[in-house]
Amino acid sequence: MANIRDIAQMAGVSVTTVSRVINNHPYVSEEKREAVIQAMEKVNYQVNRTAVNLSQGKTHLIGVVVPFARHPYFGLLIEGVAKQAMERHYHFVLIQTNYEGSREWEALNMLKHKQIDALIICSRTLALDEIERYQQYGAIVVCENATGNQYVDSVYIDHYQSFTDALTYLHQHGYQQIGYCIGRQSGSNSYFRHQAYQDFLKRYPQQEFIFTDNYYFEDGQKIVDEIMQLRVKPDALLVSCDIVAAGIFTAVQNIGIEIPNDLALIGFDNQPMSKMMGITTFEVPIVTMGERLFIHALGEAETSHEKLAVTLIERKTV
Amino acid sequence: MANIRDIAQMAGVSVTTVSRVINNHPYVSEEKREAVIQAMEKVNYQVNRTAVNLSQGKTHLIGVVVPFARHPYFGLLIEGVAKQAMERHYHFVLIQTNYEGSREWEALNMLKHKQIDALIICSRTLALDEIERYQQYGAIVVCENATGNQYVDSVYIDHYQSFTDALTYLHQHGYQQIGYCIGRQSGSNSYFRHQAYQDFLKRYPQQEFIFTDNYYFEDGQKIVDEIMQLRVKPDALLVSCDIVAAGIFTAVQNIGIEIPNDLALIGFDNQPMSKMMGITTFEVPIVTMGERLFIHALGEAETSHEKLAVTLIERKTV
DNA sequence: TTGTAGGCGTTATCAC
DNA sequence: GTGATAACGCCTACAA
């Protein structure tokens, strides 16, 4: 494959001139430009991006860390990132961690080794102060409330507030035994939601119902099975993601539990599926969040920490 | 940031020696190795992968082209690719095309510009002979029957056969008005399925029912709406992906259509969701397919074209 | 076992 | 306008 020197020789100019025409820089006469273009076309010249990267000290690549790539929530987040990446002529390396710390380290090391320019961590298991240290190698953005942290940027929604709003809404509609379903128990976002739940329980004492490790549609069945084992059952459920809510909605139909009379449901994210099933949910601007994460990764955001608003969509499950 | 030369100087050795210890090459005395390691630790030395890439002419990166990253089918495919990539210390750049040709060109150009070593095309809209030409820049693997093509590798399942099997199975169970639901009409895999359907109709004449542009759960509702408009309705549906079948299954419950009596359903892929809902489906080894795609991309496959087997999982919707 | 020197393909800084 | 030439950071004959 021809390189820039070959082209220079063929066109009878210097590599500088060739570089200028490649990058549309000024100060090159029309004849020489023409000659260079001729030469490039003749041998089907293509720039080697690796060389450009080395020379510029940039890769035009950012890393995106997700626990599960095929979860609808992260799917939308990725979509947002991809959208901005494309517009700005960037690409991204997807790193699925399954919440294994070693994979997160690997992503961090890619930053260290200059394989990527910046890193977006959509969800993490490593401690934030471990992650912070890698900020010296490139921008790091997390998708959780990291307000006050001076090393990493963050884009997030106020999970405490939205959970509180949802609980209050259910309470106002007369529900008295409210539980919630979530993915993992640990994690920053889960923490805020749990806090909201605990604070709500202080105001309106009732039994606690928490269902954990729920990520996918089929986990809805699992939750319903668990509920059926209970002597005292919840009469309303806050479900951290729509697809699980849809699973509950479906699983419940065969066993004579009526929604919303016997059981109310509030989902999160406003995935298309919840619309079709008429599930009351919170609209979370996930795609926008992905886009903003990317903007922060490029260091083009005005503020370090950015909160996005959510809105309740009232449908038929409350 | 320190480079290999700095380390060499600090340790009082040559860059060659440093390179040797970095890459665990033989022929370096214990003392020198120790000195180098000391120096590296002292300044927290990290290799610059871009430089390694340029020097070796490899990026250790492969491109993965999908139309929609958050579709469950492609999600599983990506999972398979990711699995192998991790084991072999590769990473991958995800390119979502939305079936826009320009995005596919972009992926092809990444190969040309040596930003990636190889390219996996999970689904395409560009013509295969356009794609073929880029094979000179790196291995290209497609996820469709490309038997006989000498430029690109392929990993695929026999859609003609599985569709034929499914149609026959439905026929044997007494269904007489069989239709099918699919994503896009064009595309190689769709072509084979359509052929199977046409050939079946020749053997057992009946009205034709084809529902296109169905990708997600909510499209099930769309299909059911369309069916309700029909004077003559299908009594069985072959659905090219489980999630759509699940959507149909759900949409049908409110309008008094009984499954499988009024309408039989056969899905594809055996996604967890179909298990939960008891949907009869074909088990397609999607994750394995992703893994094999990766192996082919690395040029480590024994044959150029590889067919994977599918099996029918009988459940309650036929 | 070790080191020298050239190469990988660009970009960027000067001087002309 | 144009062109040497030195980075960028690493690898690898080849020589010693």
**Is the pLDDT confidence value at B1 over 90?**
no
Report whether A95 contacts A53 (CB < 8 A).
no
Tokens of A21: 């025409």
What's the CA gap between B234 and B209, in Å, rounded?
7
Among residues A44, A45, A13, the alpha carbon closest in space to that of A30 is found at: A13
What's the CA gap between A217 and B250, in Å, rounded?
13
Q: Please tell me what DSSP assigns to residue A135.
A: G
Tokens of A171: 């309470």
Cβ-defined contact of A79 to B91 (cutoff 8 Å)? no
As a CATH number, domain B61-157+287-310 is 3.40.50.2300
Tokens of A239: 């479900």
Cβ-defined contact of A75 to B61 (cutoff 8 Å)? no
**Is the pLDDT confidence value at B26 over 90?**
no
Cis check for the bond before B260: say yes or no (omega within 30 of 0).
yes
In this prediction, residue A1 carries a pLDDT of: 83
Tokens of A101: 């710390």
Distance of residue B84 Cα from the nearest chain A Cα, in angstroms: 12
Q: Does domain B4-47 have CATH number 3.40.50.1220?
A: no
Task: Check whether residue A26 has its CB closer than 7 Å to nucleic acid strand C.
Answer: no
Instruction: Give tens-digit pLDDT for B32-86.
Output: 999 999 999 999 999 999 999 999 999 999 999 999 998 999 999 999 999 999 9
Judge whether B4-47 and B61-157+287-310 match in fold: no
Q: Which nucleotide is nearest to A114 (CA to C1')?
A: D9
What's the CA gap between B20 and B27, in Å, rounded?
8
Q: Is A15 strand, coil or helix?
A: helix
Distance of residue A114 Cα from the nearest chain B Cα, in angstroms: 6
Residue type, B65: V
pLDDT band at B102 (very low <50, low <70, confident <90, very high): very high
Cβ-defined contact of B217 to A54 (cutoff 8 Å)? no
Q: Which nucleotide is nearest to A52 (CA to C1')?
A: C10
Distance of residue B53 Cα from the nearest chain A Cα, in angstroms: 7
Topology of domain B159-283, CATH: Rossmann fold (3.40.50)
pTM of the complete model = 0.94
Protein residue closest via CA to C1' of D11: B55
**Is the pLDDT confidence value at B154 over 90?**
yes
Report whether B187 contacts B123 (CB < 8 A).
yes
Measure Cα distances from B239 to A6, B162, B198, B214, B267 in Å: 55, 12, 16, 9, 5
Tokens of A281: 């949910």
Domain spans in chain A, listed from the N-terminal domain onward: 4-47, 61-157+287-310, 159-283
Helix (H) or strand (E) holding A34: helix A30-42
> What does the H/E/C string look like for chain B?
CCCHHHHHHHHCCCHHHHHHHHCCCCCCCHHHHHHHHHHHHHCCCCCCHHHHHHHHCCCCEEEEEECCCCCHHHHHHHHHHHHHHHHCCCEEEEEECCCCHHHHHHHHHHHHCCCCCEEEECCCCCCHHHHHHHHHHCEEEECCCCCCCCCCEEEEECHHHHHHHHHHHHHHCCCCCEEEECCCCCCHHHHHHHHHHHHHHHHCCCCCCEECCCCCCCHHHHHHHHHHHCCCCCCEEEECCHHHHHHHHHHHHHHCCCCCCCCEEEEECCCHHHHHHCCCEEECCHHHHHHHHHHHHCCCCCCCEEEECCEEECCCCC
| Chain A residues whose beta carbon lies within 8 Å of the beta carbon of residue B252 | none
Beta partners for A158? none
What's the CA gap between A235 and A162, in Å, rounded?
20
- Long-range CB pairs of B301-306 (<8 Å, 24+ gap) are B301/B153, B304/B149, B304/B150, B304/B153, B304/B154, B305/B145, B305/B146, B305/B147, B305/B148, B305/B149, B305/B153, B305/B154, B305/B155, B305/B156, B306/B153, B306/B154, B306/B155, B306/B156
Protein residue closest via CA to C1' of C3: B14
> What is the rounded average pLDDT for all residues in chain B?
95
Tokens of A218: 């089929």
In this prediction, residue A27 carries a pLDDT of: 87
Mutation site, B70, B76, B259, interface A, largest A CB count within 10 A: B70
**Which nucleotides in chain C have some atom under 7 angstroms from a protein Cβ?**
1-13
Instruction: Give tens-digit pLDDT for B213-272.
Output: 999 999 999 999 999 999 999 999 999 999 999 999 999 988 989 999 999 999 999 999
Task: Check whether residue A15 has its CB closer than 7 Å to nucleic acid strand C.
Answer: yes
The average pLDDT across B158-169 equals: 96
Residues constituting chain B: 318
Q: Is A254 strand, coil or helix?
A: helix
User: Can you list the residues of chain A whose pLDDT is less than 50?
Assistant: none
In this prediction, residue A254 carries a pLDDT of: 81
- Of A49, A113, A221, nearest to B114 by CB-CB distance is A49
Pairing, β A91-96 against β A118-121: unpaired
Those residues whose C-beta lies under 8 Å from the C-beta of residue A25, and which sit 6 or more positions away, are A19
In this prediction, residue B9 carries a pLDDT of: 92
| Chain B residues whose beta carbon lies within 8 Å of the beta carbon of residue A113 | 46-49
Report whether B108 contacts B135 (CB < 8 A).
no
Burial of residue A150, with CB atoms counted within 10 A of its CB: 0-12 exposed, 13-18 middle, 19 or more buried? exposed
Residue indicated by tokens 């359903």: B265
